[in-house]
Amino acid sequence: MSSDGETSTTVSKGRLEAFSDGVFAIAITLLVLTIAQPSNYSKLTRQLLERWPSLAAYVVSFLVLGIMWLNHHTIFAHVQRVDHGFFYRNLLLLMTVAFIPYPTEVFGEALRTGAGERTAAVFYSIVMTINGLAWSALWLHASTGRRLLNDELPEEQRRSSTVLFVAGSGVYLVSIGIAFINPYVCLAFHGALALYYAFDPISRRLEHNRSA
């Protein structure tokens, strides 16, 4: 195997990384299409102000996707090579990532029109939960028995990262519950989660260790 992890029989890590980056960049930029254009320009000021929930959903999903990209980057930095199992789990992850603009639009529109808000919040939270499960599946495949990891990640942190990844899916389950109570709180909760992950499980711990 060559140093960049590419052979003719396995997937090239570099090219898979670039492909994944492309999907993240496109999905995050397509989010702008989720904000409905004004339908009546003679009441433009009012119509733009009424679209604040769509704007809020845009901001939250943009943060979520941006931080997911960073997380993806961190996982790849700890992975020495990729195999077919990793490729398919990554493909499933990308499938949920590329899907996010859809529930984002539904959520924003539901809050704006004042109908179906609860359903929209539950739908958004379910998509995020499935996304969280895909992250866990990717990480567990790569890290179990250090199958694909390189030497940079200490064993102790591998375990704590696993706990945090699995716990993440659990927190998303909580967001489904919140969605039933109050859709606005649910949106804020997802924004807060994104900010929490801003200090992402793996790299936060590593940086702490290094500076210790």
Site for a second copy in 99-128 (CB under 8 A): 99, 101-102, 105-106, 109-110, 113, 115-116, 119-120, 123
Q: Per rule CB under 8 A, is residue 69 in the interface with a second copy? A: yes
Choose the binding region for a second copy from 60-68, 131-139, 169-177, 180-188 (rule: CB under 8 A).
Answer: 60-68
DSSP state of 145: G
Minimum distance from residue 135 beta carbon to a second copy (Å): 17
Q: Does 3 bind a second copy (CB under 8 A)?
A: no
Residue 163 CA to its chain's centroid (Å): 17
> Going by C-beta distance under 8 Å and a sequence separation of 6 or more, which residues neighbour residue 35?
51, 54, 55, 58, 108
Q: Which two tokens stand for residue 43?
A: 């009441």
Q: Per CB under 8 A, does 91 bind a second copy?
A: yes
Per CB under 8 A, contacts with a second copy among 137-166 are 152-153
Question: Using the rule CB under 8 A, is 62 a contact of a second copy?
Answer: yes
Question: Which of 1, 4, 15, 160 lies at the binding interface for a second copy (CB under 8 A)?
Answer: 15
> Does the CA dihedral 168-170-171-172 come out positive or negative?
positive
43 lies in the binding site for a second copy (CB under 8 A): yes
Contacts of 115 (CB under 8 A, 6+ apart): none
Amino acid at 10: T
Q: Give residue 155's Cα distance to chain centre.
A: 25
39 near a second copy, judged by CB under 8 A = no
Of the CA atoms within 13 Å of residue 190, those in its CB half-sphere come to 38
**Residue among 170 and 209 whose Cβ is closer to a second copy:** 209
